[in-house]
Structure 1
Amino acid sequence: MTVILPQSGAVAVDRGLLLGRLQGAAVRRPHVKALDLLFYAVFALLIGLPLALVLVQAVLPDLFDHRASSAAFSVRALAQTFASARVARSVVNSLALAATVAVTATALGGAFAFLVRRCRLPLRGAIAVVPWLVFLTPSYLKALAWALLMAPGGYLVQLGLPARVAAAFFSLPGLVFVHTLSLFPLAFFIIGSALVGLGSDMEDAGRLSGAAPFRVWMKINAPLIAPAIALSAIATFAEVLADFGMATTIARMSNFSVLTYGIYAATSDYPIDFPMAGTQAFVLILLVAIVVGADRLLRRQVAARLISGRSKPPRIYDLKRWSPFAMGFVAVITFAALVLPLGAIALRALTRTIGASLTWETFTLDNLAEVATSAGDAHAALLRSLGYASLAAVLACSLALLLALRLERDKAMRPVVLGLALGTVAIPGIVLGFGYILVWNRLPGFRDLPFPRYGEGSLLILGYVAAALPYCLVIILSAIGQLAPNLGDAARLFGVGPTARLLRLTLPLIAVSVVTALLMTFIHTIFELPMSQMLIPLDGPPAPTMILRYFNDEREGPASALSLASMVIAGGAAALIWSAARRMLFAGGATGSRRAL
């Protein structure tokens, strides 16, 4: 006999079960709140406290004086900084360089974006990869490569470049040239996205009215993409202000002082000139804040909504007889921005000296052997960077994942933490590194902690984590924001605990974003120069610092070999990890939804 239970009884049982679980969740709420506070405290310690001390140092200049510490408010250091002719020259040089490169890089990136996104070119897909490769190459490696090319006896000078032209390179025009080739991908990404969304509706209307194509672009299309052009110029301006790679290489060789190198020089003195470093960092933060404010103001303006259900696809132009000229332009930019610098590094790594003519006798594997030999300093520096980068990537992604889960539930703290994270992205790495010196070398209570300690690798790893955490948080938080809340609610009702929900439900669904953040942090950390220079461990420097040390000691061969080995190993490891992750994700894709619970 079949017994049918009353429906009301089932509902009562379900209500009782649900109320019991909700009550259990309420009992656990203080524990959850304590975890939330812990994660927010860690985030504030990694990023908020160092940046706050940098700002405080500017108005409390004697706070970290090793002779007589004082918390007295004073604008003396700021007044001295603004009255200093050297600092004034650094500010003017930084602004002039940033403004010029903002114009040149935006123009070059916009032209490249137009050819790739709106013109029919051979190998257009392969050409679109070039800006990514240029963008991922660290600025100081590009600077070192161009120094090898343009220095007295450099490769281009050996090929017949006039010495007068090579000498003029180490000045403002040379810096503008290298910065432009280095940062045009930023304009390509921003303007290219606007060109893809710019349909042919208004363009067709203008042509039907009898306007010529050039007039259509000047009167219709150009105003529509003007916000993207302005954003590109602002972003490029901020990047040049914050750059440290060019500042410590070509700018230093050219005696062209900029703010980022001034901060590093003040912290490299013994004893450290905290007031000078702090006030210059304050000025740099102020300039970057003005730029970021202009960016935010521009984004708040009313923008044209170009994509709708009736939008026509963008018009792709057939250049016809102009196609060879366009391909020549693309080939020249690709060669100057990517092939020539990487070729110079590879060539110098495989030769005995830069001054001798290139014959078979000048080629050698000694430089690469020095990197591969376990007893060499270059080998140890490379291993340190790989180890530091691996630990920093795992720690940064793990912390970002847990923090993102908390922020997804805590809507009140989300704008605060996310705003600080996005603001940190715009803060120069040299400033964050100086903040870490203030916290872990001068701040009572922190400088005496056994872990991490100033002068040890543990603090450098912590700095790497702080530098990468905002990027990881933004990437992972955007992925978590796409998950429907009812997925977690359903798992909770079935009795799945928080750890199991994270490992078996959330993590598989956002695995692509987590792997992307992991690889980005790994590659970025291997080549992270500002933090590496500011927090050099006493037991030995990482690869970026060793590369610069070799170069400053006129040992370009080992510097190039270490650069080449770092790029090959980092790229190869990232490719292997991504390939393995893709195979695992695709293999588990068919059954992933069934395994989630």
Structure 2
Amino acid sequence: MNRNAFLPGVTGIALLLLVAVPVAFVVLQAVFPHLDTGSYSAPFSAFTRVFAEPALRELITTTLKVGLGVALCSALIGVPLGALRGLFALPGAALWDVVFLIPFLLPPYIAALAWMLALQTNGYVQQLLPGMHLNDFLFSLPGMVVVMTLNVFPVVYFAVSRSMAASGSRLADVARIHGAGPWRAFIRITLPMALPAIASSLLLAFTLSIEEYGVPGALGSRSGILMLTTGIEQRLADWPIDMPGAAVLSLLLVAIALCAYSVQRAVLAGKNVESMTGKPADVTQKSLAGWTLPVLALFILVALIAVALPIVSTLVTAFSGTLSGGLSLSNLTLRHFDNLFASHGDALSALSTSLSLALGTALVAGATGFLASWLVVAQKIRGAALIDGLSLFPAALPGIVVGVGLILAWNRSFWPVTPYNTWGILLLSYCCLLLPYPVRYVSAALRQIGANLDAAARVHGATAAQALRMILLPLVFPSLLASMMMVFAVASRELVTSLLLSPAGVQTVSVYVWRQFEQGSVGDGMAMASIAVLLSLTLMLIAFRLQQRQTS
């Protein structure tokens, strides 16, 4: 075997199994509805049937309303906060960055369940403020948009704050000297320079919201509000199972995400604003002066609503004996945590399963992402564009589409060996969804290193594999480790593919929490959620710290 072709071959096979196969089977099942019987008859008839359904318009309309609503609300929160953080000397700036990182790292389905406990009738907010009746608002389309926004707005906040801090205020100060007012200088100078970052973050907010299943599943199912994600799940869960219909809806969801990306590129075409002076931007942040207290009050208000309330709601439920007991010292208990660690319970099994799968995902996705990045950035082999596209394409794939693709791909009689109905199918789904993390981190690190060290090693007789193992791997290892820790944290609490693909008798942390709510064991579910959130937040914060050290 050609040693030079071994690593590219292994990487190519891994990308085919993780990404290409499930995506291909979604397309094939949508085009050929009788594929499961080995027949290629009546092509595209599933499209005709699904498009003729009266409910389809409502599914698409609701999905678009939620996506646009979350993007708009995220802009209303994230852009002002990001501008204040990037342009002004905000007291405790680093602390606020950590605080606003928490909502984005909080699993959306756990946040939705926490908001339910807080705002539903006789919930915690109503117990503290008897005049507040927010149950009807929560279980409505605007309520879903608000809950999603409070999870997603940090992507806008961080993009805007970093962009405005990098561009500085020097050009705006020049405009002020020439007679422009502060608002005119901000709107005509500072804001246009941050426009690419704003547009990219709003696109991400839109795609994250239309691909989300946990919040619509928790809130929308109780109010009759259906999105494409919940519509796909219904076709897979309700009898008779409609695989072709699920595949068609999956392609529609991917098409909406790709259309959003195209619109973003069209809006930004020719509108990038750059400084042409050749000098580094002045990053000196201005004083807030008399606005310090009002700005801090704004940050505190957002933090209390987006961070404190759902986390406190989760913890209070985990330590409460019964929901009917309300907020009282006599209702405090450790019983739910005792139930988790009881030898006869399912909680320990679910936790060990999630941790094992998360570790396997981190290793497989990390290795595949590292090799793919090396082949694309350092080796620049023939077919690098295809490898790069396959490794990053899962970023545009909703989790539910990956789940549908894996069911369609591996639930076939012609495979001699299949991971379907085993824990292996969960490993494949997690690796597919989370592969872009190591690819992005390692690619950025490799570009910083450049090609000189690899070339020097090759000149002195090292093979490509030796240069990779002895030079490049040690240099990019901090970034790779950070990405693997993020993969581990996200995989340990992934919901939608776990619900779709978990074999009988196999539970993960997310499935356990979801099932406990369905069965009415809310305290046990929130106790498990508390452990999962603490683990995820700790690992992700360590990962971000490692990445900052690598890039500083």
Q: Fold conserved (TM > 0.5)? A: yes
**TM tier relative to shorter chain:** over 0.9
2:530 matched to 1:564? yes
2:511 matched to 1:554? no
Corresponding residue of 2:408: 438
2:383 matched to 1:417? no
Corresponding residue of 1:115: 84
Matches within 5 A, 1:180-219: 180-219=149-188
Q: Percent identity?
A: 27
Inter-CA distance 307–148: structure 2 relative to 1 (3 Å threshold): farther
2:322 matched to 1:350? no
Give aligned pairs, total.
Answer: 549
Matches within 5 A, 1:347-426: 347-407=316-376, 408-426=378-396
Match of 1:242 among 211, 220, 224: 211
Q: Give the deviation of 1:578 after TM superposition.
A: 9.2
Matches within 5 A, 1:253-268: 253-268=222-237
Q: Give the deviation of 1:223 after TM superposition.
A: 3.1
Corresponding residue of 2:40: 71
SS of corresponding position for 1:481: helix
Cα distance in 1, alignment partners of residues 78 and 543 from structure 2:
31
Match of 1:136 among 100, 105, 118: 105
Corresponding residue of 2:421: 455
CA contact (8 A) 2:115 2:310 kept: yes
Match of 1:538 among 504, 511, 517: 504
Give the letter for the 1:323 counterpart: T
Q: Give the deviation of 1:168 after TM superposition.
A: 2.2
Match of 1:251 among 220, 244, 269: 220
Q: Give the deviation of 1:80 after TM superposition.
A: 2.1
Q: Give the deviation of 1:493 after TM superposition.
A: 4.7
CA contact (8 A) 1:149 1:156 kept: yes
Give the letter for the 1:421 counterpart: S
Unaligned residue ranges in structure 1 (runs of 5+):
1-27, 586-597
Give the letter for the 2:101 counterpart: W
1:331-367 deviation digits (Å, cap 9, x = unpaired): 0111111111111111100011122232222111111
2:24 matched to 1:55? no
2:139 matched to 1:170? yes
Give the TM-score of the pair, scaled to structure 1.
0.86
Give the letter for the 2:295 counterpart: A
1:290-349 deviation digits (Å, cap 9, x = unpaired): 012223445653511237543441463433333222111100111111111111111100
Cα distance in 2, alignment partners of residues 497 and 533 from structure 1:
45
Corresponding residue of 1:590: none
Cα distance in 1, alignment partners of residues 283 and 390 from structure 2:
37
Q: Give the deviation of 1:36 after TM superposition.
A: 2.1
Cα distance in 1, alignment partners of residues 92 and 456 from structure 2:
48
CA contact (8 A) 1:464 1:525 kept: yes
Unaligned residue ranges in structure 2 (runs of 5+):
none
CA contact (8 A) 1:352 1:363 kept: yes
Shifted more, 516-525 versus 151-160: the winner is 151-160
Inter-CA distance 160–192: structure 2 relative to 1 (3 Å threshold): same
Inter-CA distance 204–333: structure 2 relative to 1 (3 Å threshold): same
Corresponding residue of 2:436: 470
SS of corresponding position for 2:90: coil
User: RMSD value over aligned CA atoms?
Assistant: 2.5
1:443-482 deviation digits (Å, cap 9, x = unpaired): x433x41xx4211111211221122222212222332333
Give the TM-score of the pair, scaled to structure 2.
0.93
SS of corresponding position for 1:510: helix
Cα distance in 2, alignment partners of residues 367 and 550 from structure 1:
12
SS of corresponding position for 2:214: coil
Cα distance in 2, alignment partners of residues 378 and 205 from structure 1:
61
Cα distance in 2, alignment partners of residues 576 and 35 from structure 1:
30
Match of 2:17 among 38, 45, 50: 45
Cα distance in 2, alignment partners of residues 216 and 572 from structure 1:
41
Cα distance in 2, alignment partners of residues 41 and 324 from structure 1:
57
Give the letter for the 2:223 counterpart: S
SS of corresponding position for 1:248: helix
Match of 2:288 among 285, 303, 319: 319
1:469-510 deviation digits (Å, cap 9, x = unpaired): 222122223323333434234434545455543333222111
Cα distance in 1, alignment partners of residues 124 and 247 from structure 2:
40
Inter-CA distance 313–50: structure 2 relative to 1 (3 Å threshold): same
1:249-280 deviation digits (Å, cap 9, x = unpaired): 11222221000111111112345311211111
CA contact (8 A) 1:157 1:166 kept: no
Q: Give the deviation of 1:568 after TM superposition.
A: 2.5
Give the letter for the 1:488 counterpart: D
CA contact (8 A) 1:58 1:278 kept: yes
